[in-house]
Amino acid sequence: MQNERKPPNSFRKAPDERGHFGPYGGRFVAETLMPLILEVEKAYLEARDDISFWVEFDKYAKHYIGRPSPLYHAEKASKHFGGAQIYFKRDELNHTGAHKINHCIGQILLATRMGKTRIIAETGAGQHGVATATVCALFDIPCTIFMGETDVKRQAPNVFRMKLLGAEVRSVSSGTGTLKDAMNEALRDWVTHVEDTYYLIGTVAGPHPFPMMVRDFQSIIGKELREQFQDRYGGLPDTLVACIGGGSNAMGLFYPFLDEREVKLIGVEAGGHGVESGEHAASLTGGLPGILHGMSSYFLQDENGQIKDAHSISAGLDYPGIGPEHAWLFDHKRVEYVSVPDQEALEAFQLCAKLEGIIPALEPAHAFAHVAKIAPSLPEDHHLVMNLCGRGDKDIFTVADMLGVKL
C-alpha cells in the first residue's frame, strides 16, 4: 500500500480495471464472494453501457425521487456570514429525505437485471435502511436490513419505518453492535446466501465495483449542479462542501468537478468530541490506511490493526472507514478534508433552521458548520455550494436530548 506520489492526469479515470484507486479500493473479500463480486461488476459494466438502463434510472429519478433537486441561493445565510454567496443543493427534498435513494434506485434496477430475488443492506442511522426498504417495496423484493443493536435502540422511528415498508430488521449484537458490525453481519449473510441475494451497499465503500457504482449513481447530484449553475449564473461554482461518513453524497457532488482544478472541494468529516480526544469518526484526519469490509482505505484503528469504534452525534457519519476514492483524493490533496466536532454541528443545525427555515440532518449540519467558518472571509462574488444531503426530521430527538429538551 505504498502511496503513489505522482498525481494522475485525470481524476476521473479511476478506478483501474481491478477496482484500485491508486493503492486503495480493490476486492478484499472471502473467496466465496469473489465469483459474485465479479458477476456484479460484469452486470454493472453492461448496464452502464446500456441506454435503456439509464432511461429507467432517469424515469425513477424524475418521477419517484423528484429530481432534479433544486439549487437554492441561501441569501439570508450569505448575508448573515457577510462573505461568499452560499447555495444549497437540496437533496434533502428527495423522496425519503436524503440522497441515499439515488443509489438505491440504481442498485435495485441492477439487482432485478441480475435476477436476484432477495436484498440485504446495512444501516447505521437507518436512512440507507429506509431507502433500501422503500425501493424493495416498490420492486416487490423481500429485504433484510442489518442494524447494530445500539442503533436499533436509538433510531426507533426508522426501525418502525423500515418495518412499515415490509423489511425485516435484524438487530446485530456481535462486536460492538454498531454500523461496522452491521456491515460484517451483512457480509456474513451474503456469504451464506450467494445464490439469490444482492447486497445493496449504502455508500461508496465495500469491494469493487461498489465504490465506483455508488459514485456513478450519486454523480447525478454533481451533474445537475453543473447544469443548474451554468444556466443561472454561468461558469462553475468556486467551492463545493459536503459532509463525509462513508462519503457517498460528497463523491456524488465532487466527481463531475474533479478535473476542474479551479473548483475547490472540501469534505467535512465528523469530529465527534474532537479528533485529539480519540472519540470521532474522522477516518482521514484521524485514521490510518488499512483493509476492512472488502476495501483498502483509511480506517480508525489501534497500533495492532484492530478496528476502533467511531463516534459522532450523527449516526449517519458514525463509520470507522471511508470510501477508497476519498482516500486517494486525500493523498493527492485534490480534496481538502477537515473535521467538525459534535458541538459545532449542533449549533449549525439550529442556525440553519433559524436562518433559512430548513431543518438539516445532523450530517449536512457538519458541512454547514464548516461553511460558517470559511464563508465570512471569502469575497462576495465567491460561489460556495453545500450539499444539503438530508433533512433533519429524524434527528429532532437526538438534538432535543442534547439541548436538554424533553419531547
Partner 1 sequence: MKRLGKVFESLRTENRKGLIAFIMGGDPDVETSTALLKALPSRGVDVIEIGMPFSDPMADGPVIQMAGQRALEAGCTLRNVLDMVVSFRKDNQDTPLVLMGYANPVYRYGVDKFALDCAEAGVDGVIIVDLPPEEDQAVREALGNQFVDMIRLITPTSDAGRLETILDGATGFLYYVSITGITGAAKAKHDKVAAHIEKIRAKTDLPIAVGFGIKTPNDAQEMSALGDAVVVGSSIVEKIAHLSGKSGKVDQGAPEMTAVLDHIGALSGALKPAA
Q: Which residues bind partner 1 (CB under 8 A)?
A: 1, 18, 26-36, 174-175, 180-181, 184, 187-188, 191-195, 288-294, 299, 301, 303-307
| Residue (28 or 53) nearer to partner 1, CB | 28
- Rg of the chain (C-alpha set): 20
Contacts by 224-232, CB closer than 8 A, 24 or more apart: 224/67, 224/68, 224/69, 224/71, 224/89, 225/71, 225/89, 225/253, 225/256, 225/385, 226/256, 226/257, 228/68, 228/71, 229/71, 229/87, 229/383, 229/385, 232/71
| Residue (195 or 231) nearer to partner 1, CB | 195
Q: Are strands 71-73 and 85-89 parallel, antiparallel or unpaired?
A: antiparallel
Say which amino acid occupies 297.
S
C-alpha 320/C-alpha 145 separation (Å) is 20
Least distance (Å) from partner 1 to the CB of residue 41? 12
Least distance (Å) from partner 1 to the CB of residue 310? 13
| Residue (39 or 50) nearer to partner 1, CB | 39
| Residue (177 or 267) nearer to partner 1, CB | 177
| Residue (262 or 303) nearer to partner 1, CB | 303
Q: Are 162 and 129 in contact (CB under 8 A)?
A: yes
Least distance (Å) from partner 1 to the CB of residue 368? 32
C-alpha 126/C-alpha 119 separation (Å) is 16
Closest among 355, 395, 288, 357 to 3, alpha carbons compared: 288
Least distance (Å) from partner 1 to the CB of residue 175? 7
ω into 376 cis (within 30 of 0): no
| Residue (280 or 366) nearer to partner 1, CB | 280
The cell 439469490 sits on which residue? 196
The dihedral over CA atoms of 155, 158, 160, 163, expressed in degrees to the nearest 10, equals: -130
Least distance (Å) from partner 1 to the CB of residue 28? 5
Q: Are 239 and 89 in contact (CB under 8 A)?
A: no
Least distance (Å) from partner 1 to the CB of residue 35? 5
- The H-assigned helical ranges of 155-305 are 156-164, 179-192, 210-218, 220-233, 248-254, 283-286
Least distance (Å) from partner 1 to the CB of residue 32? 4
Least distance (Å) from partner 1 to the CB of residue 197? 11
| Residue (292 or 358) nearer to partner 1, CB | 292
| Residue (183 or 389) nearer to partner 1, CB | 183
Least distance (Å) from partner 1 to the CB of residue 314? 22
Question: What is the helix (H) or strand (E) element at residue 77, kind and residue range?
Answer: helix 75-81
C-alpha 90/C-alpha 98 separation (Å) is 9
| Residue (105 or 307) nearer to partner 1, CB | 307
Closest among 125, 78, 81, 103 to 319, alpha carbons compared: 125
**Cα within 13 Å of Cα(310), Cβ side:** 35
| Residue (274 or 289) nearer to partner 1, CB | 289
Question: What is the helix (H) or strand (E) element at residue 172, kind and residue range?
Answer: strand 168-172
Least distance (Å) from partner 1 to the CB of residue 216? 22
Angle, helices 156-164 vs 127-139, to 10°: value is 10
